Every structure is written in C-alpha cells, then in structure tokens.
Amino acid sequence: MNQKQKHLEKLRAVIRLKHFSLSTERTYLLWVSKFWDHARTLPAEMPREKKVESFLTTMARRGCAASTQNQAFNAIVFFFKSALEQPLGDIRALRAKRPAVHRIAPTRQQTIELLNAVRDQGGYPTRLIARLLYGCGLRVCEPLNLRIKDVDLENSRLLLWETKGGKCRTVAIPCSLADDIRAQIKVARAVWERDIRARLPVAMPGLLARKYPSRAMAWTWAWLFPAHAPCRDPRTGTLVRWRCHEANVQRAVKEAAAKVGLAGLITPHNLRHAYGTHVADAGANMRDLQSALGHKSLETTMGYVHSNGLRVLSPLDAAV
C-alpha cells in the first residue's frame, strides 16, 4: 500500500468513527484523492497551504460551481485537521462565485396537479412519498430513511433522526395520508416477516448492528419503504435489506412534471420549497416553520418564503 492509499484509509477510518454518511465518505475520499494527485505536480518544498490554494484556484479557473469548490475545500480541511491532525493555516485561493439563487416554488394549483400526476415507480409507493415531501416539507431522503419506530400514527407525527447537519426533528403527519401510511406499514410488515424467516437483517446506522445485533432483526427497526431485493452493505459486505432508492422518487416526479407541463422546473426538493412558501403564506409562525424544516438559522427558513412585490399596496392609492 503506497502513501496515498495509507492516508486515504486513515481518512476513511476517521469518517466512519464520526459516523458520517456513506455519500460523505465517498465525496471526501474523492476530493482528497484529486488534491493528492494535484499536489504531486507541485514542488515538494511548497507549504501545504499553498498547495491547497493552487488546487482550489485551478478548480475556479476551470469554471467549477462555488458549491463544488466549497465541497472540495471542506474535504481537504477535514483531512488535514481530523485525519492528519495538522490543521491548515490561512487559505487564500481564487474562489468560485456563488450566484444569487431564486428558489422556485410551484403554486398551490401546480403542486396539486403535479401530485395527482405522480404514479408509483418501479413497484414503490412513490405517489405516497411525493405527498409526504410536500405534506411534511421533507428532503427527498427523509421519508425513505423512516423506520417503523419513527412512525407515530397515534400522535400523528414522524420522528426524523440524523437529518442534514446531524439534527433531529418531529413533523406532523397530514391526516389525509394516515390511511395510506397504515397500508404501507402492512406492506413493510410482510417484507419483514419474509426477512425474519430468511434471517436477513436490515441495514443499521453506524455500529449499532455490532453493538446491538438483535435490533437488525427487530420489527421496530424495519424500513417503512423497504427495497424489493437485498444488497451488500458497502461498508461491511453483509447481505442486508436496504430501503427504496431516491432515484425512484426523482424519476416519478420528473415524469409527473412532464405530464403537467412543468418539465425541468419541478424536482422533489421543489415540493419542500412549496411547503415552506404555502405554509408561510397561510400565516404560520416563522419559528415554527424553522423547526418543521429543520433549519439551524431563521435566515435559511426565510429563503424558502417567496416574497411578492405585487402584494405591496402603493401609498399613493391610500392618499387619494
């Protein structure tokens, strides 16, 4: 194993120790690998900060998006600080500019038309999932990560764990979806019973499967939206039951958007934007909306509230 591979394995170990997601692990390893290859083309005596600046500046000059460059920067900073325990000093690189983004939220009528056009995709209840995205203001992966223990129909709430930023929150279940969720629980129960007979565990977060082996076979930890077929856990190699993949939801919403004349304009995440906008327009408390959306900052929540200058009355009309 060469030096690059040793450092990447050390980075992988630290990421898993901190229970980062698999997507974060893959992303950080990718950017650190690219940085390593770039640094090898630079003089050995060059300070590491200058090497990082060179890498980031090269990315900016190639026209990468600001979010892409920031992702690479965060991965490299984490590598030096947490894996090598050698925090970087001041970094002064050419940074890609982040354009002002106007979040698109479909109108209420567009949203209803879209949801009515969504069809189940690949044998999965993507119609129900799309309604949860809008009805609860969820990110696309959040309903898919639900386990049976997270569904509290008695109190009409969903418990969301380890969402973006490692935060947890509770959201209300729309009354109109209660019966559909009950039906989906029965489907999940049938899958779980087959897995129990086959001794097939569900995928577990972090090291819970090793610490509490029985939970991987418990009904409470079964997925609400289980995948049709088992797969290999990419970290352990164990054959497990995973949950429905995001691609099924994305494809279902994409096809529905094309049917109602909104092709290329509406994605699953736009349904979350619509939730924020429509709830705010109905007069919801912004702090409550912040909690429902799981935002750390109220300023972030305000970004989902779409202003309309046409609602402002002219003072001239009031004066005449």
Burial of 35 (0-12, 13-18, 19+ CB in 10 A): buried
Cβ atoms within 10 Å, residue 244: 22
**109-123 exposure pattern, b = at least 16 Cβ within 10 A, e = fewer:** ebbebbbebbeebee
Choosing from 98, 164, 210, 228, which is the catalytic residue?
A: 164
- 273 catalytic? Reply is no
Choosing from 127, 241, 278, 295, which is the catalytic residue?
A: 295
- 304 catalytic? Reply is yes
The backbone torsions φ and ψ at residue 281, rounded to the nearest 5 degrees and listed phi first, read -60, -25
Choosing from 139, 147, 243, 273, which is the catalytic residue?
A: 139
Choosing from 7, 103, 269, 306, which is the catalytic residue?
A: 269
Choosing from 12, 51, 127, 272, which is the catalytic residue?
A: 272
- 103 catalytic? Reply is no
Task: List the alpha helices (DSSP H) in the chain.
Answer: 3-17, 22-39, 48-61, 66-78, 108-117, 126-136, 141-144, 178-198, 208-211, 246-259, 268-281, 286-293, 298-302, 315-319
Choosing from 28, 124, 275, 304, which is the catalytic residue?
A: 304
- 272 catalytic? Reply is yes
Cβ atoms within 10 Å, residue 162: 13
Determine the Cα–Cα distance for residues 75 and 31; give it in Å rounded to an integer.
6
Task: List the alpha helices (DSSP H) in 40-97.
Answer: 48-61, 66-78
- 164 catalytic? Reply is yes
Q: Are 223 and 188 in contact (CB under 8 A)?
A: yes
| Catalytically active residues, by annotation | 139, 164, 269, 272, 295, 304
